[in-house]
Amino acid sequence: MNTVNLVQGDSGLNLRVNLSRADGSSLNLSGASANLYVKKRKSKNLEFTIAGSVNSEDDYVIFSFNNNELDITPGEYFGEVEVSLSEGVVQTVYDLIKFNIRQEFA
């Protein structure tokens, strides 16, 4: 599991997620959309969702933290990436992204 360390209240951060099939082959991301769903560890409730910017040529998605998403309680969070392909197929990335969010100093 990948871990991303963040600071409470920050904005303007970008998270790049590279996408491929389990065998390493490319996905056809032309016309695709992607979302990042984030929830606090041991919680059933979503904290926030970020729509991603899909780069179909290089098989990655950029998620930008810029709308006060990180104005949340410090702690451990998990993110799930879901991709909706142009043909209507929805695929969820099996591996979760772990976020450690610490309190800011000032």
Residue 2 pLDDT > 80, yes or no? no
Strands 60-65, 53-55: parallel, antiparallel or unpaired by DSSP? Answer: antiparallel
Q: Which of 68, 66, 70, 71 is nearest to 52 (CA)?
A: 66
Q: What is the dihedral of CA 62, 92, 67, 104, to 10 degrees?
A: -90
Residue 57 pLDDT > 70, yes or no? yes
Structure tokens at 27: 């996905």
Could you tell me the domains of the chain? 2-102 (2.60.40.10)
Tens digits of per-residue pLDDT, 78-92?
999 999 998 889 999
Tens digits of per-residue pLDDT, 69-80?
999 999 999 999
